[in-house]
């Protein structure tokens, strides 16, 4: 892979744009400590993103660097706000050892600034194009002390372990034993997890053989490749135009949904209203927690939305039960208010819309203004009675639990509300 030629720029311009970016990250609360601030001021991001103009390099946005045959990004330099968040969550200090899974070069340079000459940074990627690029950029910018390895990050880097922190920069659906085994007790694993199709960045802390979340935020990442790859399963409701996507809970009898959109549609107002620009990412995770059949409904951008219209284009959240499917919209009802509305097809449409409406109202009452749940990861064989209360998602290596705190719980997990691809 040949790198794109760097855009024309001058150092004074780059320095000014970098200073402006750092000031924005400070004012937004993404940078919290003087050490992370110093790292962002020191590392020249534009030299790691030759595809982008210098202005784009210092925008608080992702720079995508490689794509697959379908045009989906397979590698990128994450948005600075998200990089700052994950690095702050890792709590790195001088002399520590850090593993980055998913390379690009820039993030590894930031980590190298934090751990200093007495520490060690190892960055791993499965794609030799990406590691070759990262190694060139790191050497050119004076960070050639970073260890760059070409391998499947699913297995970590045991020869450089133990690590005080592991930062994963691709979306994972499971946590392999290597990541836990190579992390010191009390160390941090920062990983974007896919939970029932929803992306959540989780800052875990290791306690023996289990991981406990300390912070979470909504985020999007490129898909993991190699042994950790786990694509969503799709169920067509109408060709490729309207589909359901499942994350480990695919229906046992998908044929029951054949022709379901030809049945009458039931529409139910929920009474739960929102002003414009109000985030409701906790609603999505709440529904994914309480419904066994939670999934996403996807309507192709250029597809006609009948028979979903005129009810409205779905928000993406859906629930299946038996041979019925329900989904959400949130149409504008006044100039300053939107209201959630439930819609369903199938023989149990009435019951399903009632259940969906009840859970939206529960979220409104108990969790709308509250934090994300606590997320924990235990070894696969952990019995139910040793798990926290809540939803358990069984993966190949771990049992991931989602436990919602009482709104007044002072130990509830912090969450952020800024979604962005990376």
Peptide bond into 28 cis (omega under 30): no
Pairing of strands 233-238, 63-67: unpaired
- Secondary structure class of 149 (helix, strand, coil): strand
What phi-psi label fits residue 117: left (phi over 0), alpha (psi between -120 and 50 degrees) or beta?
alpha
Alpha carbon 51 to chain centroid distance? 24
Q: Is residue 266 part of a domain?
A: yes
Range of the domain at 247: 233-366
Helical segments of 156-224, H only: 177-181
φ/ψ of 201, rounded to 5, equals -80, 125
d(CA 411, CA 188): 18
78 is catalytic: yes
Q: Is residue 344 part of a domain?
A: yes
CB 218 within 8 A of CB 417: yes
The share of the chain scoring above pLDDT 70, in percent, equals: 93
Pairing of strands 183-195, 163-168: parallel
Q: Is residue 302 part of a domain?
A: yes
Query: What's this model's pTM, rounded to 2 decimal places?
Result: 0.90
Instruction: Please give the structure tokens belonging to residue 150.
Output: 């070409």
Q: Is residue 164 part of a domain?
A: no
pLDDT at 299 over 70: yes
**Residue 5: Cβ-neighbour burial (10 angstroms; 0-12, 13-18, 19+):** exposed
Question: Which of 27, 75, 76, 78 is flagged as catalytic?
Answer: 78
d(CA 244, CA 234): 6
Instruction: Name the domain count of the chain.
Output: 1
Lowest mean pLDDT among 156-165, 231-240, 410-419: 410-419
Residue 408: per-residue pLDDT: 58
Q: Is residue 136 part of a domain?
A: no
- Please write the tens of the pLDDT for every residue from 348-392: 999 999 999 999 999 999 998 888 899 999 999 999 999 999 999
Q: Is residue 201 part of a domain?
A: no
Residue 411: per-residue pLDDT: 53
Instruction: Please give the structure tokens belonging to residue 163.
Output: 């690590």
Q: Is residue 199 part of a domain?
A: no
- Secondary structure class of 105 (helix, strand, coil): coil
Residue 333: per-residue pLDDT: 93
Residue with tokens 């059949």: 293
Residue 419: per-residue pLDDT: 37
- Please write the tens of the pLDDT for every residue from 37-88: 999 999 999 999 998 899 999 999 988 877 777 767 667 788 999 999 999 9
Q: Is residue 106 part of a domain?
A: no
């Amino acid at each position: 892979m040949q790198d794109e030629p760097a855009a024309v720029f001058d150092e004074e311009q780059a320095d000014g744009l970098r200073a402006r970016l750092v000031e924005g990250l400070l004012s937004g609360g993404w940078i919290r400590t003087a050490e992370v601030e110093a790292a962002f001021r020191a590392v020249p991001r534009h030299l790691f993103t030759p595809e982008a103009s210098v202005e784009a390099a210092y925008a608080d946005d992702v720079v995508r660097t490689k794509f697959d045959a379908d045009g989906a990004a397979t590698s990128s330099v994450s948005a600075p706000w998200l990089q700052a968040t994950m690095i702050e969550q890792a709590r790195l200090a001088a002399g520590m050892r850090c593993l980055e899974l998913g390379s690009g070069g820039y993030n590894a340079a930031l980590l190298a600034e934090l751990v200093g000459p007495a520490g060690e940074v190892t960055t791993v990627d499965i794609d030799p194009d990406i590691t070759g690029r990262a190694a060139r950029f790191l050497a050119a910018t004076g960070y050639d002390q970073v260890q760059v390895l070409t391998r499947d990050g699913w297995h970590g880097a045991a020869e450089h372990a133990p690590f005080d922190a592991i930062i994963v920069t691709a979306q994972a659906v499971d946590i392999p034993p290597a990541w836990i085994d190579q992390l010191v007790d009390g160390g941090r694993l920062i990983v974007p997890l896919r939970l029932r199709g929803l992306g959540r960045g989780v800052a875990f802390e290791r306690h023996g053989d289990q991981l406990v979340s300390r912070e979470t935020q909504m985020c999007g990442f490129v898909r993991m490749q190699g042994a950790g790859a786990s694509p969503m399963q799709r169920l067509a409701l109408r060709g490729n135009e309207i589909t359901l996507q499942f994350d480990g809970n695919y229906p046992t009898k998908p044929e029951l949904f054949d022709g379901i959109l030809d049945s009458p549609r039931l529409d139910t107002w929920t009474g739960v209203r929102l002003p414009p620009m109000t985030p409701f990412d906790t609603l999505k995770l709440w529904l994914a927690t309480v419904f066994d059949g939670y999934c996403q409904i996807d309507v192709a951008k250029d597809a006609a939305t009948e028979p979903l219209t005129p009810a409205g284009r779905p928000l993406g959240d859906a629930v299946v039960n038996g041979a019925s499917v329900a989904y959400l919209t949130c149409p504008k009802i006044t100039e300053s208010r939107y209201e959630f509305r439930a819609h369903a097809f199938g023989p149990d449409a009435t019951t399903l819309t009632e259940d969906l409406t009840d859970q939206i109202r529960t979220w409104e009452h108990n969790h709308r203004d509250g934090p994300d749940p606590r997320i924990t990861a235990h070894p696969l064989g952990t019995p139910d009675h040793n798990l926290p209360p809540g939803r358990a998602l069984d993966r190949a290596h771990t049992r991931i639990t989602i436990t919602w705190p009482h709104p007044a719980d002072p130990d509830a997990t912090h969450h952020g509300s800024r979604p962005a691809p990376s």
